[in-house]
Structure 1
Amino acid sequence: MSDDFTFGESWSSIYREFTGIRGKIAEADETVAFLESYVSNGSALELGIGDGRVAVPLSERGVKVDGIDNSDSMLKLLAERTNMVNAWKGDIANFSSEQRYGVIYCVYNTFRYLLTRESQIACLRSASAALADDGALVMEMNIPALDGFISRQKTSTLCLDSENTILSADIHDPLNQTLTTTVLWFSGTSVKSLPHRARYVYHQELDTMAECAGLELAERWADWARGEFNESSRRHVSVYRRAGQSRSSFKKPTSVA
């Protein structure tokens, strides 16, 4: 999914600790509550399932969760956590499934690790084909923060506390809409260097790509708590449905015991 900067293999050993520091584990319950409200047929598919940060608590609510990831290391972490989630190694840009899912979701910027517009559209097409008729595709992504670059380079602080200093060094390629990033994590006497590369997408471009896949925007929020999306929002949670379906045709989401 991300060439020589394979995210999962580089990050798997520290992923849970890093997401904890960044507040993503604490946010998981809110994420799960949001996703559960769209599960029309009791099933969900996560694109880039990782260690199951979201999938595991969603499955504990009674949802049948499947997942795809391209990282053996991440899939191993998931298997160590639970046997309730069915996950397989694959490319989220090109997958097929006989199962039709009530909700398919791709969170925490995972979509950006597809490095071309073509692969991102292919992912949306694969997801559209795997949706139930009344299903929803849920995407979470940051709004690109491109201020502060000098000669296409920028260094920023992600975390600074009594135990950790985490810096991000970014190189911007505007022609390809990519950011090549090295996260430097200083903790005690240890230093970890964590590389990755991503193709950023503005929400307007995502809507256009979704249209290419036969999807249309149904809702957009600033966060999992359904805060208002506006010009000051730093990320978006976007819900897509199959194009041409009126909202009255969607089944009312039901809670899963």
Structure 2
Amino acid sequence: MRAEDGYFGEDIAADYDESAADMFRPEVVDPAVDVLAELAGAGRALELGIGTGRIALPLANRGVSVHGVEMSRAMAARLSAKPGSDAIDVTIGDFATTRVGGTFSVAYLVFNTINNLTTQDAQVDCFRNVAAQLRPGGCFVVEVGVPDLRRLPPGQNAVPFRISPTQWAFDTYDVATQAMSSHYVTIAGERATYWSVPFRYVWPAELDLMARLAGLRLRDRWEGWSRAPFTGESQQHVSIWEKPAD
């Protein structure tokens, strides 16, 4: 794996779409694209962590001009091999700091990608970076899970989220630093492989403060792309912060 690919090198990119197949289903993708297309209007969209184009490709098919930022060349190569990718520009770089030129009507981070920034400073930098690239009245959209710490009994720091005959997957948490990691053990015949990736979980109120530091204000927060109300029982949220028009 090349260092510039981070934790998403060719070994992960090669079967990423298959391993995340549930997230590619139309009933998952279409509501997200509906919201983002509405926010983009006649303007441009910026996807941070564009990956293999799960959201960018259908959004571009709606006529929205999409520019992506992606650290992993292996993931970007998978996107560029897909039909319709010629309509999407991709810049290789760290989405916390990379600027691509011009302004955008909407910028977005989906599928917990904000957590790939493993320090609070990097997450704050990301908000400031986005704010600098939004046009007045533009919006920043983040889809991310609510930290599931209620499942941690005293003395435990691991929560399983997938158990099958061929794969075991679990998250570990450090509640003092908000560091977490996802761990995957995959079994093929008599051989087992292990992979882990670090994250930093973040609370909704913490994201709101990051937005305020960047000069953005909360416009909407829903439980998901269907715009259901966000409640204390919600396991994820879609939040939209707006850059003041003035």
TM-score, reference length from structure 2: 0.89
Letter in 2 for 1:123: C
- Secondary structure at the aligned position of 1:37 is classed as helix
Letter in 1 for 2:211: A
Question: Would the alpha carbon gap of residues 220 and 187 (structure 1) be closer, same or farther in structure 2, given more than 3 Å must change?
Answer: farther
1:131 corresponds to 2:130: no
Mean Cα deviation higher: 183-192 or 125-134: 183-192
Aligned residue number for residue 121 of structure 1: 124
Letter in 2 for 1:8: F
Question: Would the alpha carbon gap of residues 159 and 152 (structure 1) be closer, same or farther in structure 2, given more than 3 Å must change?
Answer: closer
Whether contact under 8 Å (1:45, 1:67) holds in the other structure is yes
Mean Cα deviation higher: 201-210 or 95-104: 95-104
Question: Would the alpha carbon gap of residues 30 and 165 (structure 1) be closer, same or farther in structure 2, given more than 3 Å must change?
Answer: farther
Aligned residue number for residue 88 of structure 2: 85
The 5 Å alignment of 1:67-216 reads 67-81=68-82, 82-146=85-149, 147-148=151-152, 151-158=155-162, 160=164, 165-186=166-187, 191-216=192-217
Letter in 1 for 2:45: A
CA distance in 2, matches of 1:234, 1:52: 24
Higher relative contact order (CA closer than 8 Å, sequence separation 6+)? 1
CA distance in 1, matches of 2:163, 2:215: 40
Question: Would the alpha carbon gap of residues 34 and 189 (structure 1) be closer, same or farther in structure 2, given more than 3 Å must change?
Answer: farther
Of all paired residues, the percent bearing the same amino acid is 30
- Secondary structure at the aligned position of 1:83 is classed as helix
- Secondary structure at the aligned position of 2:8 is classed as helix
User: Shift of residue 236 of structure 1?
Assistant: 0.3
Whether contact under 8 Å (1:5, 1:196) holds in the other structure is no
Whether contact under 8 Å (2:5, 2:72) holds in the other structure is no
Aligned residues: 238
Mean Cα deviation higher: 92-101 or 205-214: 92-101
Letter in 2 for 1:70: M
Aligned residue number for residue 7 of structure 2: 7
Letter in 1 for 2:7: F
> Which runs of no fewer than 5 residues in structure 2 stay unpaired?
none
Letter in 2 for 1:104: A
The 5 Å alignment of 1:22-61 reads 23-26=22-25, 27-61=28-62
User: Shift of residue 159 of structure 1?
Assistant: 5.6
Mean Cα deviation higher: 232-241 or 179-188: 179-188
Q: Please state which structure has a larger fraction of its residues in helix.
A: 2
CA distance in 1, matches of 2:239, 2:159: 29
Letter in 2 for 1:84: A
CA distance in 1, matches of 2:147, 2:41: 32
User: Shift of residue 8 of structure 1?
Assistant: 1.7
Whether contact under 8 Å (1:5, 1:197) holds in the other structure is no
User: Shift of residue 32 of structure 1?
Assistant: 0.7
Question: Would the alpha carbon gap of residues 40 and 151 (structure 1) be closer, same or farther in structure 2, given more than 3 Å must change?
Answer: same
What is the root-mean-square deviation in Å for CA atoms of aligned residues? 2.2
